[in-house]
Amino acid sequence: MSQLKKSFLHKNQEINQSEKKIPEVGICNGKNILFQLTGSIACYKACIVISKLVQSGNQVRTLASEAALKFIGKATLEGLTDNAVITEMFGTRFPRAHIDLPDWADLLILCPATANTINALAAGLADNLIGSTFLANNFRKPYLIAPAMNTNMFLHPATQESLKKLEAWGVRILPTDEGRLACGTSGPGRLLEPEKILLEIMKCLGTK
C-alpha cells in the first residue's frame, strides 16, 4: 500500500472518530458564522466543524486563502455550506466582503491558522482578504484563532509574541493539542479536535 493511500486512510479514520465524539445537543443554532481557512493539512478538521455547524441550523460562510485551497477544494466547502467560497479581495461578486462579512457574522473564526497568517495579523497587515476582514471587524464580534503548525514554528518567539499581542487586543486564542504532526514530529501545534473547537464556539456564543 502506498504511503499516500495510508495517509488518506488514516485521515478518514480520524474523521470518523472525531464525528463520533461531537455532541449531538447543545450546539448553537440560528447564528451567522464566518469560517476562515488558511493553508494547512488540518483543513480537513475544519470541514468537520463546518459540517456540524451547518447541520445544527447555522449559516456558515467560508473565506479561504489560496494556500487553503491547495488542501481542500472549493466544491467541498460549497457543498458543506451551500454558499460560495470567498477568496479574492477584489472579486466582482463580493466587492465589499471585508466590510460586509464582519457586519453579517455573529462570530468569526480563523481555523486552521498558520504561523504566517498569525504573524501577519499581529503586524496589522491587510494585503489580503483575511487581513482586511480582521481589521474591519475591530473586535465588535467574537474572533477566534485556532493555530495549526509545526512545533518549532508554534514555539518560535515571533509566533508566541504575536499570539500574546492578538489576545491582548481581544482575540480568543484557542490552545493547540499535542501529538504527532503531519511533518512527522510530535509536540504542540496540532490543531484542536473538532469537538473541542465546537465547544469553544459555543462558549463564545453563550450556548455552553
For residue 191, the SS3 value is coil
Q: Do the beta carbons of residue 149 and residue 114 sit within 8 Å? A: yes
Q: Which of 43, 47, 183, 204 is catalytic?
A: 183
Give me the half-sphere count of Cα atoms (radius 13 Å) on the Cβ side of residue 148.
Answer: 24
Residue 34's closest CA among 124, 94, 91?
94
Find all residues with CB under 8 Å of 192, minimum gap 6, and list them.
Answer: 45, 146, 174, 175, 176, 177, 200
Which grid coordinates are listed for 112?
Answer: 486552521
Region at 26 (left for phi over 0; alpha for psi -120 to 50; beta for the rest): left
Whole-angstrom CA distances from 141 to 5, 22, 127 are 41, 25, 22
111 is catalytic: no
Which are the catalytic amino acids? 183
